[in-house]
Structure 1
Amino acid sequence: MKMQDSVSWNIILHGLLDQDAFEEGLQLYTQARRIGFDPNTSTLLLLIQAYRSLRAFDEGLKFHGYLIRGGLWSLKSVQNSLLCMYTEIGMEYAENLFEELYEKDVISWSVMIRGYVHHDEILFALNSFNKMATDVGIEADGQTMVSILKGCTNLGDIRLGKSFHGFSLLRGLNYDLFVGNALVDFYCNCTDVASAIRVFSEMYHKNLVTWNSLLCGFVHNEMYPEAFTLFSSMEKSGFVADEVTLVNLIQSCKVVGVLRQCNLIHSKVIQQGFQSNEFAMNSLIDAYGKCNQINYACKVFCQIKRPDVVTWGTMISGFTHCGMPDEAVSVYREMRASVDKSSPVTLLNLIEACALSAELRISNWAHGIAITMGLASHVVLGTAILDMYSKCGAIVECRRVFDQISMKNVVSWSAIISAYGLNGLPRDALSLLSEMKASGFKPNSVTTLSVLSACCHGGLVDEGLSIFNDLANNGAEMKLEHYSCLVDLLARSGHLVDALDIIKHIPVGMNPSASAWGALLSACRNYEDSEFTDRALSQILELEPTSTAGYLLASNIYAARGSWVDAFGMRSLVKRRGIKVVPGFSLVHASNNAYRFAAGDLNHPLSHMLCPVIEQLHLCMKKEVRATTFVS
């Protein structure tokens, strides 16, 4: 164009800025300023939006000065747009500008309220709303209510949120789509799903955000079957899932562990073309891993051209969850060759894999990586390393790692107590509890469980009962697993009547678990009490009908008594119900290696060497028992 006037400049600038080409638009605006360009109001608003989107706040301040000098500052829309920009910088800047405004409309107040909520200054937002509605007399609009409901969501105050819900109904704002979405989100986050469903069903108009808000609420509140049902209704209503929908459904698949559902959502990801969405693909890998379908997870992983650190870490976690620590370690080695640097989360995944393998040599290698990265003294990774060495039976290393943690917390103290208890040092575990209290830390439910478990493994009945009563009387939170552990402690030592009495007096709202009855049943194997055996077995089979533990334990008890018909009946029941039997195994450490021997596995490379030795040991044990019996 030979003649470029203000109209043509406004058109080209408006086109660029409206299409979010902010950098190019601002460069062109600077060029236009040199020739005396006079922007219109629409262009001014887009320029302020560009400075805000690019977070070019210094240039935005200069532009504010230009508006004042050019006499453009008095435009209400320009003032509110600048106010919106200043809320991004900090509320003190916005407050100064807000006080300078001669006339404040509902948009000005809404911008301030939204800014306070964005900066998590909820009380200031509530005070501003109250002042706007009462002192100034300006009626709130839908955007104001969305911001204030978001503030109530952040506070988690359901009573306050319900009052604003009532305010919305009085003002007729419940017909506003965005207010409805905010209400659904609020109730879901406050765990009042019934109210969220009621709001959802009463909405005249719904969009994809509406469906996703309720779907997220179902997943957040662990209502996974309801999430899948809602997704089906959503598709029937003509809405197409986006990445938010699919990721939430994948999270549900991960918890439910149903392969069919996971495959269905995977097909939706492919149909919608989200294979390049890293979050969706990582979620799929994680879900397949949690469903114990590591082959599917590997296929998804191989489809990603450039996996990032999160993808690698998810794959490592999947192998660990599926009981394949060696493969997890191999993936970590491959990752280090492909990615410039690891992340603390990925290292944590590696440490979990090493804890599962229980190989000291590999664990030392992982510990060395943590030291190299400068993370070994960090409380989270340090505690994980401590737990890893505990699984390896290296209690000296556990204590060394614990002492090197710079900022210990209750979790790290609980971990070291648990480590000593699991490795046959219950007295040391009790000493650490006293040391923990002296350091100013109050035991929590995890600590209590660690101490009780240590007493249980060490046969310290009196100490365990004393600690349980002491912690309970001092306000420590007692959960079902603590009572189950106490039952196990009493049952192991032969106090079957006392153990049953504990089960009977578990507080209201806590139904005795299968682990508590299992502890009682296990004790019956040693103390041969048929009345307790039958009672405990019936409870276990009712609580966990698909778990092999109760069936096999009962079968062994019957076999030990010579009741071969009953023993065979238990084994037959397992087969008829199609319950998969997972064989037990022994883990033997030798020369920094861990050797796993499954029960009945004669194909192990070392079986031909060990079986004769074990038979000799068995004969020696029998001779020792006979000799002891004869002497006594």
Structure 2
Amino acid sequence: MKSLFRGNIHEKVFSSSAVNLNHSLAVIDPPSIFDAEPEPAIPPVHRLLVLFNDYTKSRQCTTPNTKIWHAQLLKSHLLQSQAGIADSLMDCYRQCDATGYALKLFDAAPQWSLISWNTVISSCNKKSLFLESWKQFCRMHKSGFEADEMTYGSVISACTALQAPPNGMQVYSLALRKGFHANGYVRAGTIDLLAKNYKFDDALRVFHDVSCENVVCWNTIIAGAVRNGENRIALDLFRQLCCHGTFLPNSFTFPCVLTACAMLEDLETGKVVHGWIIKCGSYDVYVSTSLSDLYAKCRDMEGAMKIFNRMRFRNVVSWTAMISGFVQLDDSISAVQLFKEMRSLGEEINTFTITSLLSACGRPGSTKTAAQFHSLIIKCGFDLDPAVGASLMNMYYKVGAVDSSELIIGEMERRRNPNSRAVMISLHAQANDAGRAIELFVRMLQEGVRPDKYCTSSLLSVVNTLSFGRQVHSHVIKSGLVFDVSVASSLFTMYSKCDSLAESYEIFGQICEKDNVSWTSMIAGFANNDRPDEAVRLFRDMLIEGNTPDQSTFIAILTAIRSLNSVNKGEEVHAKVIRLGFGEEITVGGALVMMYSRCGYLKLARRLLDLLPLWDGVACSTMISGYAQNGYIEEALLMFHKMLKANFAIDSFSISSVVQAVTLTNRSDIGTQLQSYAMKVGLDSNAAVGSSLVAMYSKIGGINDCVKAFDQIDAPDLIGWTAMIMSYARHGIGEEALRLFELMKRKKMRPDPVTFVGVLSACSHSGLVEEGYFHFDSMVKDYGIEPNYRHYACMVDLLGRSGGLKEAERFISNMPIAPNALVWETLLAACKIHGDIELGKLAAKMITKCEPSDAGAYISLSNMYADMGQWEEVMNIRSSMKGAKAKKEPGWSVV
């Protein structure tokens, strides 16, 4: 300290060695601070400020030393008289992370300057005292001080940390009014604020407000795009930055862009970015790690390992990225070897490393390896982490050690850690084990543990009963979680699954800030519950409110348009898909193929399928179905053949679609080959495949083949039961059809209108009049199904076949809806069988009234007269046909 001050501080010169303070000065007695050397002139203030500046940059800038400075300046009265010195001292405290002392000095200062305010606000930010930073700014604004770009930038950063976008935008509005809108620090902070609070569109508008000459702003908007899942926009912004020419991307830009490429699995663009990295020489551990992670996520482990091996420095993220890459390729051996190498080099590991490794160890029979890694986890202290515990449980399940898995579950439950419970509920939900998930949730409530939003959302995903769902809804309202977007989305999705769309839409309407997941879930709810018009309306509302659809949204809306069979609406959505850059996405492209195929635009659907970078199995199956439904049988079979040659994983939809096509060819040999293939790949027991085979054999085979195909189905669905009932009906075995119908009801299967068509047809073909009336009445009384024209036609056919033509006529007269041509044609056919000319004439007259150009009625009546030998009437009917312009189609034969 003697070297710091000499004599009276008012009259002595500060030594240039002021920066050479050390901790020992703090214990020197005050009298030793001065000596009796001659007193030079008073130093200028700017010299003191220079000394402070040098001091803050030195290693001697510590809190104890700064307090000594503070004491001497107080004693000399310079602190009270010179505002600049107080600002410099506050900056020293800020550099020492002594924010408390800086605030006390600020409060004690006789006068404040803009530097003082900026120093105290930045000090609060540095110590994560963001609320205090906001309070100081409000105090500054109220005191009338004019803020500058440093002030606005610091306060906006504090608002970002506080997740308070309204406050941040108020500050940005002030900055705009004061002319700081073009400042890079202010704009970058505002972009970051909006992007981190899921207002990316607003962030993009702020970015485009002024031509950006600051790479920090570019980095912030690109990072914001990646954070919000707008990876294509991030890549487009990167291209604009590269074309800008004023400055080059830096080591902060590249990791964000590489993350976007990895998320899109766009290796080609990633290689272009790699070239820019080489050009700019921006190789550091973060850039190299992002590069290796990109190649790993794009399944190019050779390229990833090349980058990894060239890295001079590696961190735990680098190693974990490579291990995860091998796990993704199902190469557990390489993953474990890399982990062993990592451990031998003494590298640290984290929970992500452990969970990735546990995924690699989850193979049947590898119980010993699993136990070894479990021991390592306990040794390293990771066994207390809920995510690791969940991965352990999954691993033991996969290796077949169910007892060990149950022990892990028990251990996690005994800890009564809310996070552990939430993870367990999530795991049971993923495994579709609703009973265990509900049990854990109820136990949490009984023990007074409050489930968080993740736990509640996971539970709601498996709730499939309306009564329990409403109970969970009550808890959500009581706990205040109803205002969380993810919980609210799970709630209305639950109601949608439980066929309560009114309650689902009501909750959706109550969400203030709807995200893409909310919109997509509600659109999918309408689409999957036969409300496609509502889905389309909601999609338009989503666009009007400025939301950008993603892949899931497009798939949901295309599903709705498929149900509407509206190609015009489909083309509008297709244009939006292209505009947003999703045209080459396999899932969206597949959905477009399915939409066009269902709407009958098969050439366009096929062209889109051929343009996809990879064929989608579902889209190919849809093409087969589209070809079959539109009579292009050869094309359907060729498409299936191409799928086989390309080694596609043939699913049940593919086989059932091609079986439907074969049904139209009357080629039982091809049908038998398809059944053999289905048996080979283990899909003959699938409900969809089995039902298709039953329908095929019903038309082009025998009833025994139908029974064999039906018996192969493990768990027949309603379509399968209905197909078998229809087969019995078609072959005139009504008693078996009714027996099967009773068995179906005992299996708790609820019949639909098509099932009752089969049942009534069975009664008709077997002459079971009383049974027919019983089931017709039961359809309405027991199941609330309103009869349609096919049901009425079946009853007319039943009565007509049994000879009750007058009863059939009375039945038609008593129909609550006006009979159509199908009903009268059925009666006419019965009249022809029984030779009732008069009633036949009435039926024919009513048919021609419903469909004047229908030649069938004229021909049936003409044949009836011909059978009776009344040739004059035959000629009259043929004249009437010419007058009505009804034309008989020529017959054809396959022989």
Give the alignment's TM-score, normalised by structure 2. Answer: 0.52
For residues 111-133 of structure 1, what are the alpha-carbon distances to aligned partners after superposition, in whole Å with 9 as ceiling and x for unaligned? 88767656767767644665688
Residues 583 and 310 of structure 1: is their aligned pair in 2 closer, same or farther, counting only changes over 3 Å?
Answer: farther
Find 1:151's aligned residue among 349, 357, 364.
357
Is it true that 1:284 corresponds to 2:491 in the alignment? yes
- The structure with higher relative contact order (CA 8 Å, sep 6+) is 1
Q: Could you say what the CA RMSD is over the residues aligned between the two structures, in angstroms?
A: 4.7
d(CA) in 1 for partners of 2:590, 2:339: 46
For residues 57-88 of structure 1, what are the alpha-carbon distances to aligned partners after superposition, in whole Å with 9 as ceiling and x for unaligned? 969xxxxxxxxxxxxxxxxxxxxxx9999978
Residues 171 and 502 of structure 1: is their aligned pair in 2 closer, same or farther, counting only changes over 3 Å?
Answer: closer
Note if contact 2:493-2:504 (Cα within 8 Å) is conserved in structure 1. Answer: yes
Is it true that 1:412 corresponds to 2:622 in the alignment? no
Note if contact 1:114-1:125 (Cα within 8 Å) is conserved in structure 2. Answer: no
Find 1:324's aligned residue among 531, 537, 540.
531
Q: Which residue of 2 aligns with 1:621?
A: 856
Q: Which residue of 1 aligns with 2:449?
A: 239
Q: Which residue of 1 aligns with 2:407?
A: 198
Cα distance, 1:499 vs structure 2: 1.6
Note if contact 1:424-1:458 (Cα within 8 Å) is conserved in structure 2. Answer: no
Is it true that 1:12 corresponds to 2:105 in the alignment? no
Find 2:506's aligned residue among 290, 294, 299.
299
Residues 444 and 259 of structure 1: is their aligned pair in 2 closer, same or farther, counting only changes over 3 Å?
Answer: closer
Q: Which residue of 2 aligns with 1:454?
A: 661
Matches within 5 A, 1:129-144: 130=340
Residues 218 and 602 of structure 1: is their aligned pair in 2 closer, same or farther, counting only changes over 3 Å?
Answer: farther
Note if contact 1:152-1:161 (Cα within 8 Å) is conserved in structure 2. Answer: no
Matches within 5 A, 1:397-436: 397-436=604-643
Cα distance, 1:244 vs structure 2: 0.7
Find 2:466's aligned residue among 241, 249, 259.
259
For residues 296-351 of structure 1, what are the alpha-carbon distances to aligned partners after superposition, in whole Å with 9 as ceiling and x for unaligned? 22222222234233332222222212211112112222222221643333222221
Q: Which residue of 2 aligns with 1:493?
A: 700
Find 1:553's aligned residue among 742, 751, 758.
758
Q: What amino acid does structure 2 have at the position aligned with 1:337?
A: I
Cα distance, 1:421 vs structure 2: 0.8
Matches within 5 A, 1:439-450: 443-450=650-657
Is it true that 1:566 corresponds to 2:801 in the alignment? no
Q: Which residue of 2 aligns with 1:230?
A: 440
d(CA) in 2 for partners of 1:226, 1:154: 26
Find 1:210's aligned residue among 414, 417, 420.
420
Note if contact 1:152-1:186 (Cα within 8 Å) is conserved in structure 2. Answer: yes
Find 1:521's aligned residue among 712, 715, 725.
725
The worse-fitting range, judged by mean Cα deviation, of 293-302 and 461-470 is: 461-470
d(CA) in 1 for partners of 2:320, 2:574: 46
| 1:320 alignment partner, SS class | helix
For residues 497-541 of structure 1, what are the alpha-carbon distances to aligned partners after superposition, in whole Å with 9 as ceiling and x for unaligned? 22223334x28xx35555434322102222212453245334423
| 2:384 alignment partner, SS class | helix
d(CA) in 2 for partners of 1:306, 1:292: 25
Residues 214 and 154 of structure 1: is their aligned pair in 2 closer, same or farther, counting only changes over 3 Å?
Answer: farther
For residues 190-236 of structure 1, what are the alpha-carbon distances to aligned partners after superposition, in whole Å with 9 as ceiling and x for unaligned? 56776544322245423012111211111111111221122101111
d(CA) in 2 for partners of 1:583, 1:233: 48
Find 1:350's aligned residue among 557, 564, 568.
557
Note if contact 2:383-2:389 (Cα within 8 Å) is conserved in structure 1. Answer: no
Q: What amino acid does structure 2 have at the position aligned with 1:200?
A: I
Cα distance, 1:451 vs structure 2: 0.7
d(CA) in 2 for partners of 1:311, 1:282: 5
For residues 28-75 of structure 1, what are the alpha-carbon distances to aligned partners after superposition, in whole Å with 9 as ceiling and x for unaligned? 9xx9xxxxxxxxxxxxxxxxxxxxxx99x969xxxxxxxxxxxxxxxx
For residues 441-465 of structure 1, what are the alpha-carbon distances to aligned partners after superposition, in whole Å with 9 as ceiling and x for unaligned? 5755432222112112454333222
Give the alignment's TM-score, normalised by structure 1. Answer: 0.71
d(CA) in 1 for partners of 2:855, 2:696: 31
Residues 158 and 427 of structure 1: is their aligned pair in 2 closer, same or farther, counting only changes over 3 Å?
Answer: closer
For structure 1, which runs of at least 5 residues remain unmatched after alignment? 32-53, 60-81, 99-107, 587-598, 605-610
For residues 342-399 of structure 1, what are the alpha-carbon distances to aligned partners after superposition, in whole Å with 9 as ceiling and x for unaligned? 3333222221111111134333433343344454454333332232233333444434
d(CA) in 1 for partners of 2:366, 2:351: 13
Q: What amino acid does structure 2 have at the position aligned with 1:187?
A: M
Find 1:392's aligned residue among 599, 610, 614.
599
Q: Which residue of 2 aligns with 1:369?
A: 576
d(CA) in 2 for partners of 1:312, 1:180: 31
Residues 322 and 448 of structure 1: is their aligned pair in 2 closer, same or farther, counting only changes over 3 Å?
Answer: closer
Residue-pair matches, total: 543
For residues 379-431 of structure 1, what are the alpha-carbon distances to aligned partners after superposition, in whole Å with 9 as ceiling and x for unaligned? 33333223223333344443444444454343332221111112233233123
For residues 227-276 of structure 1, what are the alpha-carbon distances to aligned partners after superposition, in whole Å with 9 as ceiling and x for unaligned? 112210111122101011111012113xx2x2223323333333333344
Residues 226 and 600 of structure 1: is their aligned pair in 2 closer, same or farther, counting only changes over 3 Å?
Answer: farther
| 1:497 alignment partner, SS class | helix
Q: What amino acid does structure 2 have at the position aligned with 1:263?
A: R
d(CA) in 1 for partners of 2:292, 2:734: 73
The worse-fitting range, judged by mean Cα deviation, of 406-415 and 516-525 is: 406-415
For residues 586-610 of structure 1, what are the alpha-carbon distances to aligned partners after superposition, in whole Å with 9 as ceiling and x for unaligned? 9xxxxxxxxxxxx976699xxxxxx
The worse-fitting range, judged by mean Cα deviation, of 111-120 and 414-423 is: 111-120
d(CA) in 2 for partners of 1:58, 1:371: 32
Note if contact 2:377-2:383 (Cα within 8 Å) is conserved in structure 1. Answer: no
Q: What amino acid does structure 1 have at the position aligned with 2:522?
A: M
d(CA) in 2 for partners of 1:116, 1:440: 29
- What percentage of residue pairs aligned between the two structures are identical? 18
d(CA) in 2 for partners of 1:113, 1:319: 45
Note if contact 1:215-1:231 (Cα within 8 Å) is conserved in structure 2. Answer: yes
Cα distance, 1:165 vs structure 2: 4.0
Q: Which residue of 2 aligns with 1:46?
A: none
Q: Which residue of 1 aligns with 2:804?
A: none
d(CA) in 2 for partners of 1:389, 1:425: 15
Q: What amino acid does structure 1 have at the position aligned with 2:856?
A: M
Is it true that 1:178 corresponds to 2:387 in the alignment? no
Matches within 5 A, 1:15-94: 19=128, 92=308
